[in-house]
Amino acid sequence: MTDTQAVEAALDNEPPGDLCIRTLAMPADTNANGDIFGGWLLSQMDVGGGVFASKVAKSRTVTVAIEAMNFRKPVFVGDLVSVHANLVRIGRTSITVHLEAWVLRRREVQSILVTDGNFTYVSIDDDGRPQIIKQDGAS
């Protein structure tokens, strides 16, 4: 199997949930030890979760809580990082999303779960105030 075929096979076998963002971990994202900052990964997850939440709410959303974060494995320079979202719950003005960060390492054919957690977003209006989320089928 060529490198290209291996990457295509791994990408065809996507982790569960909606793919929200995919990016490459770069040297600029490292700490003094050469490891990818946990904060960088957390921000990628928040961006992806915000995209998902805004799509569900059909409005702007803001992050109000991050809970149950599990940093399971390190992320290395050159890893292809994918963030996947699963809806946990929709409240009156808020959306809770379970986010998973997966990496595809060089010369690997299986994605690896590196981090997951629950993020809560609130739907806001043009003035930045919380607004009710209109669910499909609701008036």
Cα angle 23, 44, 60 (rounded to 5 degrees) comes to 115
Q: Which residues pair with 122 in a beta bridge?
A: 62, 94
Question: Which helix (H) or strand (E) element contains residue 45?
Answer: helix 38-57
Nearest to 22, CA basis, from 104, 109, 88: 104
Which pLDDT belongs to residue 1? Answer: 44
118 is a domain residue: yes
**Whole-structure pTM value:** 0.86
DSSP 52: H
Q: What is the C-alpha R_g of the chain?
A: 17
Is 109 part of any domain?
yes
pLDDT of res. 11: 52
Q: Is residue 67 part of a domain?
A: yes
Question: Residue for token digits 């059909």?
Answer: 58
pLDDT for 139 equals 47
What CATH number does residue 93 fall under? Answer: 3.10.129.10
Q: Considering the domain boundaries, does residue 130 fall inside one?
A: no
Q: Is residue 85 part of a domain?
A: yes
State phi, psi for 66 to the nearest 5 degrees.
Answer: -130, 125
Residuewise pLDDT in 10s, the chain (139 residues):
445 544 554 555 679 999 999 999 999 999 888 889 999 999 999 999 999 999 999 999 999 999 989 999 999 999 999 999 999 999 999 999 999 999 999 988 899 999 999 999 999 999 999 999 988 755 4
Containing structural domain, residue 94: 3-124
Number of domains the chain is built from: 1
> Is residue 49 domain-resident?
yes
Query: Using an 8 Å Cβ cutoff, are 88 and 98 in contact?
Result: yes
Q: Is residue 137 part of a domain?
A: no
